[in-house]
Amino acid sequence: MANQLRLSIDRSSPVPLYHQVVQGIEAAIHTGLLEPGSRLENEIDLAAQLNLSRPTMRKAMDELVRSGLLVRKRGVGTQVVSSQVRRPLELSSLYDDLTNNGSKPTTEVLTFAHIEADAATREALHLAAGAKVYHFTRLRKVGGKPLALMENWVRDDITHIDEDLLKAQGLYGILRSGGVNFRLATQRIGAMVANDYQAPLLETEPGSALVTMERTAVDDTGRNVETGHHVYRGDSYSFEMTLVQR
């Protein structure tokens, strides 16, 4: 089979070598140079061809296996699984997802307040009694069509937030500009039916299906930065993801 992968590695680039390999193989798979089901050469030969050490090559393949593009079998070899693997659910905001997608989302800020956190919020954000948070609800539209109704609570000791900022960009963009490095988030996805408050805002009927998401995000210092409760129109939004066996 011996696919000729003519990857080029730039050793003067600040991008780590293993990551250059990841990008190269990803590109080869997406452009169809490496077809699903085809076998790659063995790690040692590939490493030798690129003048890389085996650990570096392995680290690259590890990432590709984790992301679901490759499959390894001991004693057999490494195989391309699929060309159309979705990126695993990313730690990104809806706003980022939409703009990356070429859409132009708009945001309406329905309510905005700087208030003392209630018990549930203090619990979610690990705040002391009396701490204050930003609380706001937003309506996100794409192409003039409402998509999501979002309610969030954000610590106020990170960066200043106001209505104008929220109108102009996504929450995660604001927080990142404020120096937050997100590390992980826990979220829960479920379903509910639209109530009399949600339905007119989302321009749908009470009783129609909504996808719900609750999320709490943590930054690299271990602070719970943000928690939110979002609902999406069920007829125009769903969560797509790839699960990889480990």
Q: Which of residues 82-141 bind its own copies (CB under 8 A)?
A: 82, 85-86, 89-91
Q: Which two tokens stand for residue 78?
A: 């490494």
Report what 192 binds from its own copies, DNA, none; CB cut-off 5-8 Å by kind. Answer: its own copies
Nearer of residues 135 and 194 to its own copies, judged by Cβ: 194
Q: Rounded to the nearest whole angstrom, what is the least distance from the CB of residue 166 to DNA in the complex? A: 27
Nearer of residues 129 and 243 to its own copies, judged by Cβ: 243
CA distance 63 to 126: 33
Q: Which of residues 37-56 bind DNA (CB under 7 A)?
A: 40, 42-44, 51-56
Nearer of residues 32 and 75 to DNA, judged by Cβ: 75
Nearer of residues 75 and 144 to DNA, judged by Cβ: 75
Determine the size of the site formed for DNA (CB under 7 A).
Answer: 24
CA distance 132 to 122: 9
CA distance 210 to 148: 9
Task: Give the range of 68-76, 128-136, 148-156, 186-194 binding DNA by CB under 7 A.
Answer: 68-76
The vertex-239 CA angle with 236 and 245, nearest 5°, equals 155
Report what 81 binds from DNA, its own copies, none; CB cut-off 5-8 Å by kind. Answer: its own copies
75: left (phi over 0), alpha (psi -120 to 50) or beta: left
At which residue do the structure tokens 């919020």 appear?
121
Q: Tell me which H or E stretch contains 199.
A: helix 198-201
What are the DSSP calls for 136-198, one per residue? EEEEEEETTEEEEEEEEEEESSS----HHHHHHS-HHHHHHHTT--EEEEEEEEEEEE--TTH
Q: Rounded to the nearest whole angstrom, what is the least distance from the CB of residue 141 to its own copies in the complex? A: 19
Nearer of residues 44 and 191 to DNA, judged by Cβ: 44
- Residues forming contacts to its own copies in the complex (CB under 8 A) are 36-37, 55, 66, 68, 71, 73, 79-82, 85-86, 89-91, 181-193, 207-212, 218, 220-222, 234, 237-245
